[in-house]
Amino acid sequence: AQSVTQLDSQVPVFEEAPVELRCNYSSSVSVYLFWYVQYPNQGLQLLLKYLSGSTLVKGINGFEAEFNKSQTSFHLRKPSVHISDTAEYFCAVNAGNQFYFGTGTSLTVIP
C-alpha cells in the first residue's frame, strides 16, 4: 500500500524568506514522486518530479526538491519566496499509474 504524509498543513512565511514543505511517503513498490501546486478553484499544475537519476530535482518557479530514499522523503524547497507563491501544494506518489496525494500544505507568503 502507498501513502503520502505532508507534515505541515499550513506554512506562513515572509516574502523573500526560504521555505521547506515536507513530504514523506511509504510504498511497497518503486514509485515516482511529484509536487503539484493548486491555485484557488484551479486544477493541479506540476512543479517538479522525480523519476530516476539525480536525487535533486529542479522545477518551475525556482522550486527544487530532494529525494531521500533512506528517509523516504521528498521535501520541497525554495530559497526566496514571492507573494505569488501563495497556494496549496500537494506531494504525490505514482505507483502503478495511480496517484496517491498528501493532504496538502497551504503556503501563505506574508508581505
Partner 1 sequence: GAVVSQHPSWVICKSGTSVKIECRSLDFQATTMFWYRQFPKQSLMLMATSNEGSKATYEQGVEKDKFLINHASLTLSTLTVTSAHPEDSSFYICSVPLRGLKGEAFFGQGTRLTVV
Q: How many CA atoms lie within 13 A of 18 on its CB side?
A: 5
**Whose Cβ is closer to partner 1: residue 15's or residue 95's?**
95
Q: Does 60 bind partner 1 (CB under 8 A)?
A: no
Which position among 2, 8, 24, 49 is part of the footprint of partner 1 (CB under 8 A)? 49
Q: Does 43 bind partner 1 (CB under 8 A)?
A: yes
Shortest reach from residue 56's CB to partner 1, in Å:
18
Separation of alpha carbons 86 and 67, rounded Å: 23
Specify the residue for cell string 478553484: 41
Q: Is the dihedral of CA 31, 27, 100, 45 positive or negative?
A: negative
Q: Does 70 bind partner 1 (CB under 8 A)?
A: no
